[in-house]
Structure 1
Amino acid sequence: MNRMGTEGFGPRVAFYIGDIPVSETVTVTWLIMAILLVFSIIATRNLQKEAKGLQLVVETIVKVINNLTKQNMGEHNANFAPFVGTLLIFIGVSNIIGLLGLRPPTADLNTTMCLSITTFVLTQYFGVRQKGLGGYSKGFLEPIPFLLPLNIIGELANPVSLGFRLFGNIVAGVIIMALLYGALGIFTESLLGFAVPFLQAGVPAVLHVYFDMFSGLLQSFIFTMLTMVFISGAME
């Protein structure tokens, strides 16, 4: 039995540590963490009073994230900017990593559900912290106590819909691209009588731009925006 085989369109086992399988999702996530860590060190190791070059780019990104947080969560919640920025950048890089030929970690439901559960836990924590346990629980009885079960179900549905939305959009792109590459390979072999992947090298490029860049960055923005809405809504 080949331990390195694949099953459907799911993430492969990249390698084993003893008998413990380490999936492609985990290894790519480690790579993304390393890239962001190295970039952060390089971008902040020689800060100047007058920003230019890479420092100017980083400061612009920080300002955009700070403004985005203030606009959606209010000035009093500006301290959420580091979390919002980390979430936005991590998901964004994870979604576009497919441009390097790697499987996006967000194409794994485990990753997207962990991110959505993190949002859910923070929502409940800051809601209780802001309103108190009694005040926060009272919100589930509004507008009428009869709706308590529906309000609870709706609250529990938020992380599920959040995780599945991100996962569905990213894995759909992965599957479509895999099918396209396979179809082009078969077409090329049928046309020439032997496998020469010349169509696979150029035709999918436009779709890669859409699924990996446009759709990927859009989904990271949507996930982050919904996270801010859920947390700030629980605190109001």
Structure 2
Amino acid sequence: MNGIGDGPKIVFELFDGKIQITETVVMGWLIIVAVTLLCLWLTKDLKKVPEKKRQVLAEMFVNFINNMVRQNMGEKLMYYSPYIGALLISAILGALISMIGLRPMTADINVTAAWAVLTFILITYHKIKANGFGGYLKGFAKPVAFILPLNIISEVATPASMAFRLFGNVAGGMVITGLLYGALGALSSALHLSFEVGSWGFSVFQVGIPAVLSIYFDLFSGCIQAYIFSMLTMVNVGAAAEES
């Protein structure tokens, strides 16, 4: 796996190199396929009264998402539940794939920025719906005209902070884990605790310690940041919709 500073690898190219397909795109489609298959399995042979554990699990997830949307966006915006559910599960799986040796999808700023821009579009849509396009533009000059630049910066800062928060945490975890792994390998070599058998290498200090750190950054931190991103989406869109 390439370093975080190198960005995602180009897996293959289309139309004589005019379109480059990166690891991020491949990981994204793999997650889409996996989630689709999971949904088909969980929703197979549904009953009014659950008889199988998979239906209970599916209903628990749906109720969890519905409750989050209801509490943070209100009853009127319950139609956002499918989007929030898809966003949350995509962000979680996009981070957790690093635990099986693949590059996290959310370690690509293009992914988190695209999600943040979509949130910004939804916020803007509800503000224009509430105040009209003219009223939306006039809002940047309130309460006084000279703070217009600050209001514009504040508007742009919302998607920017959301994108960099999720990306920074996942990418930072990759960097720290990679540095520690390399340092432990060097320490093992210095203490003559590195062994090679043919093409296979083994360093004593690289066993166990990086795995514990990976559990924190990939599992705990990845899930928390995905949840925070979804919450910020709901809170910001919900606040904009309250004006309508």
TM-score, length-scaled by structure 1: 0.91
Instruction: Indicate whether 1:201 and 2:207 are aligned.
Output: yes
Check the 8 A contact 2:92/2:222 in 1, yes or no: yes
Instruction: Name the counterpart of 1:49.
Output: 48
Deviations 1:127-157 (A, max 9, x none): 2123322333333232223322211111012
- Range with greater deviation from structure 2 (123-132 or 92-101): 123-132
Once the 2 structures are TM-superposed, how far is the Cα of residue 198 of structure 1 from its aligned partner? 4.0
Q: Which structure 2 segments of 5+ residues have no match? A: 196-200
Task: Provide the C-alpha distance between the structure 1 equivalents of 2:154 and 2:2, rounded to a whole number of angstroms.
Answer: 39
Structure 2 vs 1, CA of residues 178 and 47 (structure 1 numbering), >3 Å: closer, same or farther? same
Q: Distance in 2 between matches of 1:50 and 1:198?
A: 53
User: What residue ranges of structure 1 are gaps of 5+ in the alignment?
Assistant: none
- The answer on 1:35 being equivalent to 2:41 is no
Question: SS where residue 204 of structure 1 aligns?
Answer: helix
Distance in 1 between residues matched to 2:12 and 2:205, nearest whole Å:
31
Shift of 1:50: 1.4
Cα distance in structure 1, aligned partners of 2:27 and 2:217: 18
TM-score by length of 2: 0.88
Give me the CA root mean square deviation.
2.0
Q: CA deviation at 1:70?
A: 0.8
Q: Which moved more, 1:199-208 or 1:33-42?
A: 199-208
Report matched runs for 1:40-119 at 5 Å: 40-51=39-50, 52-119=52-119
Shift in Å, 1:28: 1.2
User: How many Å separate the matches in 2 of 1:229 and 1:37?
Assistant: 27
Inter-CA distance 5–144: structure 2 relative to 1 (3 Å threshold): closer
Q: Return the alpha-carbon distance in structure 2 between the equivalents of residues 77 and 130 of structure 1.
A: 14
2:217 is matched with which residue?
A: 211
In the alignment of these two chains, the number of paired residues is 233
Residues of 2 paired with 1:15 and 1:199: CA distance? 36
Cα separation, 1, equivalents of 2:88 and 2:70: 15
Distance 1:9 1:181, change over 3 A: farther
Rounded Cα–Cα distance in structure 1 between residues aligned with 2:113 and 2:2? 25
Q: Which moved more, 1:53-62 or 1:178-187?
A: 178-187
Deviates more, 1:166-175 or 1:183-192: 183-192
Percent of paired sites with the same residue: 45
